[in-house]
């Protein structure tokens, strides 16, 4: 039996710890709202299933807004919420560290 999570940082880290999750947030943070296909192309290497799962999870925890236009074909756009935008400083800091450690790459976003 697992103990309930009581530390706010533990809760946040468990939500963000999944593979691709922070990178999806970074791509939306640096590019603004994106449709699913655009997001899929920018997150190179992610499968459609994993991207869909991560987007659903981020929407459930209030970090993404999903806007669905019932057109043919349907258009779904993802936008960061104010809650996710609170991570902007942390994302900027992680980006700066990544550039220092691994160099600047035009393929980061």
For residue 88, the domain's CATH number is 1.10.10.10
Domain assignment present for residue 42? The answer is yes
* Residue reference for tokens 């939500």: 15
Give the span between the Cα atoms of 25 and 9, in whole angstroms: 18
The whole-model pTM stands at 0.85
pLDDT at residue 31, rounded to an integer: 97
Domain assignment present for residue 50? The answer is yes
Give the span between the Cα atoms of 68 and 35, in whole angstroms: 10
What's the number of CA atoms in the CB half-sphere (13 Å) around residue 23? 17
Give the span between the Cα atoms of 38 and 80, in whole angstroms: 15
Domain assignment present for residue 71? The answer is yes
- Per-residue pLDDT of 18-45, as tens digits, reads 899 999 999 999 999 999 999 999 999 9
Provide the 3-class DSSP secondary structure of residue 89.
helix
Give the span between the Cα atoms of 3 and 21, in whole angstroms: 24
Q: How many domains does the chain have?
A: 1
Domain that holds residue 13: 8-101
């Amino acid at each position: 039996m697992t103990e309930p999570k009581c530390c706010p940082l533990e809760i946040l880290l468990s939500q963000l710890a999944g593979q691709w999750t922070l990178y999806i947030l970074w791509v939306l943070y640096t590019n603004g709202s994106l449709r699913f296909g655009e997001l899929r192309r920018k997150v190179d290497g992610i499968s459609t299933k994993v991207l869909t799962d991560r987007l659903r999870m981020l929407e459930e925890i209030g970090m993404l807004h999903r806007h669905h236009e019932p057109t043919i074909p349907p258009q779904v756009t993802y936008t960061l919420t104010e809650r996710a935008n609170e991570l902007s400083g942390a994302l900027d800091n992680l980006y700066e560290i990544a550039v220092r450690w691994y160099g600047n790459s035009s393929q980061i976003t």
